[in-house]
A and B are shown apart, each in its own frame.
Chain A
């Protein structure tokens, strides 16, 4: 299932290219799908993997603002990077790790530390997972979040030790309570001083331990290695990648295959995703439009597809309304995702956010242009850019009726953006 997809004539089409751009990034900009079709499948996958440069001004723009200590500024900055699309896969993967190693500003209470962790996910997120996990274990925000800020030999703190097995590395059922207690001893000595993570030898328990079958005077790095050496670890990571990039409920055989791929790529996430994005599985009918878009995806897809000006700060606020406040996941398990995104309450939030994007579209319309021409152009643009072939005839009819004034153009856009099909990715 991970062998390269070989599309028959006509199969590398609008839908396939849109699928790739929506899954491996944050959706197509106007005209981007056509570009991808011209490149062919392998060229398109290559482009997705190598589009990896943020505008310097935007990327560095956060630095002077960190001193303000406002998490909303940080949210807006990340949203701006996502909307601008300089490095879609890198941001997509960073968001995946933000969910996997879910850490909340609500407890860390330090914007600089949240920014630093976010940069860690950005820097290491497409690299060697082993490096990422080791780095996360020493990340200051993570230490504060899981109470490793003051972890003493006399009183080992179990919180991080537990989560590194339950959520970050293995999953429940692959370790014992004893492993957690022993691992906690291994993490003693680590703590925080100011905004730094520090190791204090005298607080470290240097005694013999046994974690997941590994014996010795294990320290924090050894414990992480024991987790990485456990066969469940690669499967756990593969499961996360499949949930994020392929389908909400990955089949066991997909998990096993991708775990094998991960190991043969020496834990390189980028290389593993490269195989995945070119695979038969990734383009199979079964997984197309099988996920319910997260709020961040939805905002990015809509704003980018319609090409509307939209303040990143507002976009981040709307994501929070829809149930995904960046840097503030509900708990260390992250967001459940898929159907859990949607209920009466969050659907109304989605509706309201999409109507707001549609209203932004109105401002881009030249009201002096001939009405009929505008309507025609808009109709094409809406249906073509949004790329939801499953959009009903009803939407088409509504567009035909609606698209003849700037206001009704906004109505038409709103119909598309609030149609259930648009929320499937």
Chain B
């Protein structure tokens, strides 16, 4: 590991170039001479997206409010089963691991996060979170992509890049203009199948073509990037193949993420997803299992980062596109709601409960109204964690130490 890091720093420029080939930065940024020789081991943001609309009220439970128990005759969680966090809130019974992290001062939970005029469409609301724009429909760029773009303009920070781990589609949040994210399913997904004599012939065919159509040029660029980096990736994966990670899918993906961060590709953003939160019916067992996976995986990830000695430069943001209605529906589930809690995990977060706790006696249209604009969390991440200029006109929350 030490050798790798030294090589990394000594051969800064070479590495920087290969990073651009990794699909982390588009060639245009390179041509503008915007790649510096130094690649400081910078901070990394890990984003865990809870897709489908997490029922925040059953994750961070307001157990002192009778209105909670009235609204949810079958789904409410008894206060004696919760992991108490103080101030009238407790974590879901299956989130013991996260509760222990909270006690250790490594979790910040922010109440009531959302935006004005809640949108109940999964896709539109997710788009809003991904683009940080609740008003205009932005299709091409996400807040993290733009963050990476801005960082590319600063020669000292040109090493940034983003990977989505666990699927094949690049999330909108990661798409930028000059930054060029990639997506991988798992550790095996980047090993090339070769035929004898094929690689040399293929390599003889590289290079752009004049007058080539846009799509064709795009495919060729991606193909060439892929070939040049797959070996490099494979090595990083091998290092991440250690045992003692819980069997949850999210935990496995986070183990890979830890390996990729440690390997020093200069990755700044890693994006993961935990799906299945759209619990309109019979949500009890299903939601519990998801929260358990989340809790156990975040906890294992934190331990892993600590063991690798890189916990100081990694923070994890956990969000969902919306919360759910306060009242349960007739199917023992909950329908799309508005605001919900956001979690930040890491050794450098300002621990504890933040923001205004939801008051279930003061719902708006049956929903928890938002009391913290999600963009004030994004701004904190941009400014106080990633150290780039913020793109949003909002005061950052104080979330990092």
Among candidates B169, B189, B215, residue contacting A424 with C-beta atoms closer than 8 Å: B215
Q: Which of A342, A344, A418 has the most CB of B within 10 A?
A: A344
A418 and B201 within 8 A (CB): no
B197 and A411 within 8 A (CB): yes
Contacts of A390 in B (CB 8 A): 216
Q: How far is the CB of B337 from chain A (nearest CB, A)?
A: 11
Query: Contact between B335 and A157 (Cβ–Cβ < 8 Å)?
Result: yes
0/1 interface trace, chain B 31-59, chain A, CB 8 Å (1 if under): 00000000000000000000100000000
CA distance A149 to B230 in the complex (A): 45
The complex places the Cα of A150 from the Cα of B222 at a distance, in Å, of 46
Q: Is there a chain B Cβ closer than 8 Å to A68's Cβ?
A: no
Is B183 a contact partner of A343 (Cβ separation < 8 A)?
Answer: yes
Report how far A321 CA is from B191 CA in the complex, Å.
12
Interface segment among B1-9, B118-126, B353-361: the answer is B118-126
Neighbouring A residues of B51 by C-beta, 8 Å: 331
Chain B residue at minimal CB-CB distance from A402: B201
Q: When the two chains form their complex, are residues B280 and A159 in contact, meaning their CB atoms are under 8 A apart?
A: yes
Q: A147-B331, A348-B230 are in contact. Are A158 and B336 (CB under 8 A)?
A: yes
B289 within 8 A of A: no
| A419 and B205 form a contact (CB under 8 A) | yes
A131 CB contacts on chain B under 8 angstroms: none
- Report Cα–Cα, A321/B213, bound state, in Å: 27
How far, in angstroms, from A177 to B338 measured CA to CA in the complex?
Answer: 14
A166-B189 contact in complex given A343-B182, A402-B197, A402-B201, C-beta closer than 8 Å: no
Nearest Cβ on chain A to B266's Cβ, whole angstroms: 15
Shortest distance between the CB of A383 and any CB in chain B (Å): 15
| Binary CB contact string for chain A from 315 to 348 against chain B (1 if under 8 A, 0 otherwise) | 0000001110000001111011001101111111
Chain B residues within 8 Å of A423, by CB: 219
A290 to B215, CA, bound (A): 7
Partner of A420, one of B182, B193, B223: B223
Smallest distance from the beta carbon of A165 to chain B beta carbons, Å? 10
Does the CB pair B193–A352 fall under 8 Å? yes
Tell me the minimal C-beta distance from B359 to chain A in angstroms. Answer: 24
A394–B220 touching, CB < 8 Å: no
Which of B196, B201, B278, B336 contacts A407, CB < 8 Å?
A: B196
Does B18 belong to the interface (CB within 8 Å)?
A: no
- Tell me, yes or no, whether A268 is within 8 Å of chain B by CB: no
> Pick the contact of B184 from A336, A345, A410, A421 — CB < 8 Å?
A345
Measured CB to CB, the nearest residue on chain B to A157 is B280
A residues near B193, Cβ cutoff 8 Å:
351-352, 355-356
Residues in chain B near residue A158, CB distance under 8 A: 120, 335-336
**Known contacts A155-B330, A330-B167, A344-B225; A321/B189 CB under 8 A:** yes
Q: A154-B330, A323-B168, A415-B201 are in contact. Are A342 and B222 (CB under 8 A)?
A: yes
**Pair A345/B205 contact, Cβ less than 8 Å:** no
B22 nearest CB across to chain A (Å)? 7
A119 CB-CB contact with B under 8 Å: no
Interface residue B226 (Cβ < 8 Å from any Cβ of A): yes
- 8 Å CB contacts to B: which residues of A387-425? 390, 392, 394-395, 398, 401-402, 407-408, 410-411, 414-415, 418-421, 423-424
Smallest CB gap from A397: residue in B:
B204
Neighbouring B residues of A82 by C-beta, 8 Å:
none
Residues of B within 8 A of A346 (CB): 168, 183
- The 0/1 profile, CB within 8 Å of A marked 1, for residues 168-204 of chain B is 1110000000000111110001111111111001101
A92 beta carbon closer than 8 Å to chain B: no
Contact indicator A358/B195 (Cβ below 8 Å): yes
A349 touches B170 (CB 8 A): no
Q: How many residues of B contact A (CB 8 A)?
A: 57
Q: Is B248 an interface residue (CB 8 A)?
A: no
Q: When chains A and B are docked, how far (Å) is the Cα of A323 from the Cα of B167? A: 8
CB neighbors of B among A360-374 (8 A): none
CB atoms of B223 and A418 under 8 A apart: yes
Residue numbers in B under 8 Å from A162 (CB-CB) = 120-121
Contact string against A for B residues 326-349, beta-carbon threshold 8 Å, 1 for contact and 0 otherwise: 000111010110000000000000
Say how far B252's CB is from chain A's closest CB, in angstroms: 16
| Inter-chain contacts of A331 with B (CB < 8 A) | 51, 122-123
Q: Is B242 an interface residue when CB atoms closer than 8 A count as contact?
A: no
Pairwise interchain contact B204-A355, C-beta atoms closer than 8 A = no
A172 within 8 A of B: yes
* A139 at the B interface (CB under 8 A): no
User: Do A147 and B223 contact each other (CB < 8 Å), given the known contacts A321-B189, A390-B216?
Assistant: no
- A390 closest partner in B (C-beta): B216
Q: Within the complex, what minimum Cβ distance (angstroms) separates B334 from chain A?
A: 10
CB distance from A322 to the nearest CB of B (A): 7
Nearest CB in chain B to that of A420: its residue: B219
Please measure, in the bound complex, the distance between the C-alpha atom of A419 and the C-alpha atom of B330, giving whole angstroms: 54
Residues of chain A within 8 A (CB-CB) of B169 are: 323, 330, 335-336, 340
Q: Are B215 and A411 in contact (CB under 8 A)?
A: no
CB-defined interface of B380-400 with A at 8 Å, one 1/0 digit per residue? Answer: 000000000000000000000
A155 touches B329 (CB 8 A): yes
User: Cα distance A159–B335 when bound, in Å?
Assistant: 8
Indicate whether B362 reaches chain A with its CB closer than 8 angstroms. no
Chain A residue at minimum C-beta to C-beta distance from B333: A147
Report the nearest B residue to A352, measured CB to CB.
B193
Contacting pair B123 A333 (CB below 8 A)? yes
Instruction: Tell me how far the C-beta of B136 lies from the nearest C-beta in chain A, rounded to whole angstroms.
Output: 13
User: For A149, what are the chain B residues with a Cβ–Cβ distance below 8 Å?
Assistant: 281, 331
CB distance from A100 to the nearest CB of B (A): 14
CB distance from A228 to the nearest CB of B (A): 21
Let me know if A379 is at the binding interface, CB within 8 A. no
Complex: A37 Cα to B85 Cα, angstroms: 74
CB distance A152 to B168 under 8 Å?
A: no
Out of A332, A343, A421, which one reaches B222, CB within 8 Å? A343
Asked if A21 CB lies within 8 Å of chain B CBs, one says no
Is A359 an interface residue when CB atoms closer than 8 A count as contact? yes
Given known contacts A147-B331, A355-B198, A411-B198, is B190 in contact with A348 (CB within 8 Å)?
Answer: yes
Taking the complex as formed, is B84 at the interface, i.e. its CB lies under 8 A from any CB of chain A?
Answer: no
Given A390-B216, A408-B197, A420-B220, verify A398-B205 contact (CB < 8 Å): yes
B209 in the interface, Cβ–Cβ < 8 Å? yes
> A419 contacts which chain B residues (CB < 8 A)?
205
Smallest CB separation, B215 vs chain A (Å): 6
Whether A355 contacts B195 by the Cβ 8 Å rule is yes
User: A292 contacts the other chain (Cβ, under 8 Å)?
Assistant: yes
CB of A23 closer than 8 Å to a CB of B: no
Contacts of A340 in B (CB 8 A): 169-170
Q: For the complex, is B145 an interface residue (Cβ under 8 Å from A)?
A: no
- Name the residue in B120, B192, B209, B226 with the highest tally of chain A Cβ atoms < 10 Å from its Cβ: B226
A19 interfacial contact with B, CB 8 Å: no
Q: Which 6 A-B pairs have the closest CB atoms?
A: A323-B168, A155-B330, A420-B219, A147-B280, A344-B182, A344-B23
A-B contact sample (16 more), CB < 8 A, given A289-B213, A418-B202: A322-B168, A333-B123, A340-B169, A343-B23, A344-B182, A344-B222, A344-B226, A346-B168, A347-B222, A347-B223, A348-B230, A349-B189, A395-B205, A402-B201, A408-B197, A424-B215
6 A-B pairs in the complex with CB atoms less than 8 angstroms apart: A147-B280, A157-B335, A289-B215, A346-B183, A348-B190, A401-B201
